[in-house]
Structures are given as C-alpha cells and as structure tokens.
Structure 1
Amino acid sequence: MLAAIVATSAAALLAAPTAGILGHRALKRSRNASLMKIDSPNGIDERSFVRIGGIDQWISVRGEDLANPVVLELHGGPGASTAIFGPRTRSWEKHFTIVRWDMRGTLKTLGHNGADGQGEMTFDRIYADAIEVTDHIRTRLGVDKVVLLGLSYGSAFGLRLARAFPEHYSAYVGTDQNIHDSGRDNSVHEALLARLRATKKHKELAAVEALDTDKHRWTTRERAMHAKLLATTDPLTLDTMKKVVMGSLWLSPLHSLRELGHFAKGMSFSEQVTAGTSGFDDWADGTEFKIPFFLFQGEKDVLTSPDLARRFFDDVQAPVKDFALIDDCSHFAAFRRPERFLELMLAHVRPVIVADESAAAGI
C-alpha cells in the first residue's frame, strides 16, 4: 500500500552513501548486531529459507526462552517485511518467541527467488502459505498453538485464519488492523480529501476526486496512489515512515544495501495482491471468534481507522477480548512505540495464554 513512498525513500538512501554515511551505518549496524545476540541457554535464533507453497520462503525464529509463548507475525504492505525492526523490538524476545516470515514477493524471499520465481501472487495463495507456515512452526517448536499477530495488511489474513483455525492459535492480536466493510465506511477517504483541500494540493486532490465512487472498481495502481497520499499528507505517518520504517531498514544488521532495493521492489511487486481483498466484508464473514481477541491500534492512524476497528471490535464475540489505543501513533504503532506495545501484550495477552496453557496441562 505504501510502495511509492518506500521506493522514494529507499532510492534517496541508496543515492546518498558517502564514506561518512556508510561508516556511520556500519557502526550502528554493528551495535544493533550486538544488541540482537541471543545467548541464553534455552534461547533460539534461527534464520533460514523453508519450502513453503512450492518456493523457498525466509523465516526467522528468535527468543530468549523456548518456554515462552510463540508469536507468528503476519506483516503488512503487502510486501513490507517486519524483520527490519529486530533491534527496535529486541525486548519482545525476552517474553515471547517471535516468528517473522517474508511472504512471497517480500524482501529476502523475493531476493532469493527473483520476481519470476514467486509463483502465484494472490491473496488466496499467500493465505494458503500462512496455513503452511503455521504448521511448520508448530512442528518445529513443538507447540500446539501460536499467537497470531496481524499487522496492517497482514491483519486481513489474520482475521480469516483466526476464524478458520482456532485449534492452531492461542489468541489473535491485530494492530494497524484492516477492517474491510465492502466500502461502506468512507471516513478515511473523506479525511484525505479534507487534508488535500486544507494544504491546497490541487493536483493530488483532482486525482483523488477522479476516482470511481465504487472502491471495488479501483485499479491496483489507484489503490496504491490513494494509500501513498493517505501516508504522505499526514505528518505523523510520514515521520514514522521515514524514521521508523526506513531508519530501521537502513540500520538493520540483517539486511544489505542491495536489500534496501529488494524491500522497495517487494512492496511495488506485491501491490497486485490487494485486488483479492477489495470486496471483503469482515462483518459478513463473521464476528464470532473462538479464541481470545485483541486489537491495539494507533490512536491517530489515518490509514486503518481506529474508529472502524473499534466498531468491529464491539461486535466481536470471543472468550476474552480487549481493545486499546496506542497514544500519539498513527500507522506502524507497534514499531513506533514498541515498549508500549509490549506492555499491552504482557498486560492483556500473555496472562490469558499462560492461564489457558496451564489449564490444558491440568496445572
């Protein structure tokens, strides 16, 4: 959804590398690599390609104690790997085993196989991959269930997996939660028009006003253009994209300079997947979940409306549910304020999971 701004930022970074900038980057990456070391007796740090859906897909498994609950992240974008945030979320790994997966069309999976080696790039194909990744992780780590963490576009997969396979997931957590309502809610679009009018961006305003009133008829490029403007017209979101997203990619010890380009290319390449969700209706698909259900949303998110997320949450029926806003955050709230997100996970999610595991074990 944000491929254009990511591509622009990545191009600027790649165009700028002088000896001083590269030296600063090398120092920061070295420090981040030291920060990310896991040497606890029962810890795990595995990074490898796994055969999923007929192609090699990159999966990382990290945590300080394998006895901790396992969290499977479903990244957004589509095509926006969360592995770049490793140093920012290092504290999460003290309490959870974090699984990060570059979906087909994304960063390391894209770079390893090439664009022609990604296979079918559809929502249904990646959904099937997610089922396979879940089974792989459950087998590899010897656990019955994992926490499902849906981030932004990844939350569209997350809701459907949580509904369909409650036996595989101990809880669902959504952040930057996408709620699809078949186009009924128009508040995000209207807010964009208001920002464009207020800032007198006449060219961009004309492009948005020219879009079909039926969102289902938008092309992939029109959806991408709309998402780019949502982000770039909001100062908080734009600041987060530059400092948190691109800053994390630039200083990631797991990613080379070449992979900065793969990140941007992956988001552009993966835009085609969004065609598969344009007609989704989460209310029609069902608001009953058989597992604990949590939404932690940025209070100022201009891409995935916290009000719409709250309305859906209010209709959800689940054994346990909770909703919280993350203050002073727009999109990418979990990564802009990773310690606050961890506090919410520890206060609301982990106790429920641990209690359920103890009950299942007869303790």
Structure 2
Amino acid sequence: MLGIIAATTAAALAAPVAGLLAHRAVRRSTHARLMRIDAPNGIDQQGFVRIGGIDQWISVRGEDRANPVLLELHGGPGAAHSPYGARTRAWERHFTLVRWDMRGAGLTFAHGGPAGQGGAPAFERLYADALEVVHHVRERLGVDRVVLLPSSFGTVLGLRLARSHPELFSAYVGTDQNVLEAGRDTSAYDATLARLRAAGKAKAAAKVEAMGCDPNRWTPAQRTAYDKLCAGSDPLTLDTLKKVVLGSMWLSPLYSPGKIAAYFKGQGFSEPVVTGTHGFDDWADGTRFEIPFFVFQGALDVITPAARARAYFDAVEAPVKGFALIEDASHFAALRRPDRFLELLLAHVRPVVAAGRAPAA
C-alpha cells in the first residue's frame, strides 16, 4: 500500500496550499470536538507505553468502562490505525476501543524514528509485542479477556494469537482477513493481472507477470510495487485509499504534516516484516479455535478476496462462528463502512461476549 498512498498524498498536497490548510484546520477542530469523551464512566487515555523495550503508542477510549474491550491489530505492516478515531467514534459507545501503533508504525515510528524501533523489523518482534500489549490491556482495564480485532496483515498475527492463547480472548473478529497458503492461492494475483490487461496497461501487467504468482518469492520492493498496482487498478480500493485512508490522516487531530510523512516512512521501514511470514500456512497450522470466531469481509476486496476468507472460515471449528460480507466495500471494509461494521459487532459479537461464553475445553 505504500506506493499508492504516497502518490495520492503528493497529488493532494499539490492543491492550493492556503485554502487546503484553512479547510484542514476547521475540519481538525471539528474532529477534536467529536472525539471528546465526557461520560462519567468513560475513559480517554492516549500516550506511550513501554512495550518490548521501546515506547509504543496506545489509545484506550470508550464511554463506559463496563463495555467489552476491543483490541485492534492493524495491517500493513506499518499501516497504523491511529488516524481513524473520527470514523470509528460510534464504536466507543458500545466498546472500549484499544488502538496500538506497532513498532515501525504511525505515532510509534514518528516518536522514536528508525533508531528508536529496537532494531530491524521482524514478525517475531511484533508477535511478542502483541502478546505483551494484550497482558498490559487486561491489567490496565481489569479484564480477563479482550475481543481481538485484527485487520489485513494484522490477521496474520491475530490467527496465531487466537490459536495459541485462547485464554486471553473472548472472541476473534477478523476483517480484511488474510489467509496465508504458502503461495498456493493465486486468485488475487490473477485478478490484478486481468484488471491491468483490461485497462490496456501492458507494461504494468508484464511487470507483475515477471514477478511470478508466489508472493513468498518477492522482495519487499516487489511486494510494494504489486500492492500499488493491485490497489491502483481497482476503482473502489483507490477511492477508499484517497477518501478514507489519506482523508482520515489529513484531518486527524493527532497528525501534523511531519507525522504524516513519518507514517509513510514507517511503512517503508516495516516492509521486511513480511519476509518473516514466508512459508506460513494457515490451513496447515489448524482451523480449530477454542473461542468464538467471526469474519466480516469486504464483498469486493481485491487484496484479500472474500472467497478465500470464506473458504477458510467454512473450515473453521469454533464454539460460535459467524461470517458476513460488507457490501460496497473492498479492503479497509471496517473503515469505509464503520456504521455497518458496528451493526455486525452489535448483532453477532457483543451478545456472545456479554453472555460470557467460555472457550471450549
């Protein structure tokens, strides 16, 4: 996603600067007012916590501490969710929402820079950090379990956490669900090639074809190039990147222009994390989960196709499970349609969590 988002940013900044900044100031003030939590039993704590030996940004927000806790695991790697507070504000009426910018991402990267990330980025570090964050949140909020809400690359972490530590989670809720299959499934790759050819972009199609269909053989630079072509060749995904991703970042009270620049640098810094997942196979690792298991997927997702997510979900064994498509959404489905995503959380997840359904023996 790095290349396409960066290109979109450059185009936006080419607009008349004075008018753009004035509009931004008004909208950021509106978002800051929207984000206020005044409820007597509410919580609004945002700042840096020592996780894995470095300072990492964590936000804990909600209007009632008695509500279930949602812990997000963002995608990317490096695609932090800290810019999206205004879009998901309604979630905080029904859940305590915990956002964490992983090492190499968002405000964590902006705070420490490359030298402050504790060394080279690696999947194993993110996994250890995630486990530490879960324990921190449980202790901080006085809860035994949290709802795990991973998206996109975060689901690679999320599936492994849910399998290995069911005692920590009241439910798994995946979105933009990634299913790693050691390179066997080529549906997203094939569809990207077809879109490029249909659009007459022969050079781009040849570039993708030359890379081959196995992402485990790609270099980090090739993966970034593929992401750019995959997303940029789909109008709905491109529109989401412009309006939801870039729009949220530009108008977030947490993001100055310098921090926006750091966001993209963090994504570049985090690229090597993916190499640590080469060879992962979610089917071989197991489809049995001891906690309620949900997937809410964009019906038109071209990056992590809904059909692949559905096939994996159908094989899952869990105490309770549910699958739903989010219409008119590609990747970033929960953020493009936060209202619909909340409806699904309230209809399917919150009742199970509130009932205290324990993990299966």
TM-score normalized by structure 2?
A: 0.97
* AA aligned opposite 1:63: G
Pick which of 40-49 and 223-232 moved more: 223-232
Q: CA contact under 8 A between 1:71 and 1:96: conserved in structure 2?
A: yes
In structure 2, the residue matched to 1:28 is 27
Once the two structures are superposed, residues 108-133 of structure 1 have per-residue CA deviations (whole angstroms, 9 ceiling, x without a partner) of 11111111221231011100000000
In structure 2, the residue matched to 1:101 is 100
% same residue: 63
Alignment of 1:92-171 (within 5 A): 92-119=91-118, 120-171=120-171
Q: Secondary structure at the match of 2:355?
A: helix
1:263 maps onto 2:263 in alignment: yes
Alignment of 1:186-205 (within 5 A): 186-205=186-205
* Separation in structure 2 between the aligned mates of residue 16 and residue 270 of structure 1, nearest angstrom: 29
In structure 2, the residue matched to 1:272 is 272
* Separation in structure 2 between the aligned mates of residue 214 and residue 267 of structure 1, nearest angstrom: 22
* AA aligned opposite 1:287: T
Q: CA contact under 8 A between 1:10 and 1:260: conserved in structure 2?
A: no
In structure 2, the residue matched to 1:240 is 240
In structure 2, the residue matched to 1:53 is 52
Q: Secondary structure at the match of 1:227?
A: helix
1:225 maps onto 2:225 in alignment: yes
* Separation in structure 2 between the aligned mates of residue 213 and residue 145 of structure 1, nearest angstrom: 39
The gaps in structure 1 that reach 5 residues or longer are none
Counting matched residue pairs gives 358
Once the two structures are superposed, residues 294-329 of structure 1 have per-residue CA deviations (whole angstroms, 9 ceiling, x without a partner) of 000000000001000000000000000000000011
* Separation in structure 2 between the aligned mates of residue 17 and residue 74 of structure 1, nearest angstrom: 36
* AA aligned opposite 2:6: A
Q: CA contact under 8 A between 1:81 and 1:102: conserved in structure 2?
A: yes
Deviation at 1:213, TM superposition (A): 4.5
* Separation in structure 1 between the aligned mates of residue 14 and residue 265 of structure 2, nearest angstrom: 16
In structure 1, the residue matched to 2:175 is 175
Deviation at 1:332, TM superposition (A): 0.4
* AA aligned opposite 1:185: D
Q: CA contact under 8 A between 1:10 and 1:261: conserved in structure 2?
A: no
Pick which of 6-15 and 198-207 moved more: 6-15
Deviation at 1:15, TM superposition (A): 4.6
1:76 maps onto 2:100 in alignment: no
Deviation at 1:11, TM superposition (A): 3.0
Deviation at 1:16, TM superposition (A): 3.9
Pick which of 266-275 and 205-214 moved more: 205-214
Q: CA contact under 8 A between 1:296 and 1:326: conserved in structure 2?
A: yes
* Separation in structure 2 between the aligned mates of residue 122 and residue 12 of structure 1, nearest angstrom: 32
Deviation at 1:194, TM superposition (A): 0.6
In structure 2, the residue matched to 1:86 is 85
Once the two structures are superposed, residues 64-121 of structure 1 have per-residue CA deviations (whole angstroms, 9 ceiling, x without a partner) of 0000000000001111111111101100000000000000001111111111221231
In structure 1, the residue matched to 2:318 is 318
Q: CA contact under 8 A between 2:82 and 2:106: conserved in structure 1?
A: no
In structure 1, the residue matched to 2:3 is 4
Q: Secondary structure at the match of 2:77?
A: coil
Pick which of 222-231 and 286-295 moved more: 222-231
Cα distance, 1:213–1:324 mapped onto 2, change above 3 Å = closer
* AA aligned opposite 2:49: V
* AA aligned opposite 1:74: L
Once the two structures are superposed, residues 116-153 of structure 1 have per-residue CA deviations (whole angstroms, 9 ceiling, x without a partner) of 22123101110000000000000000000000001111
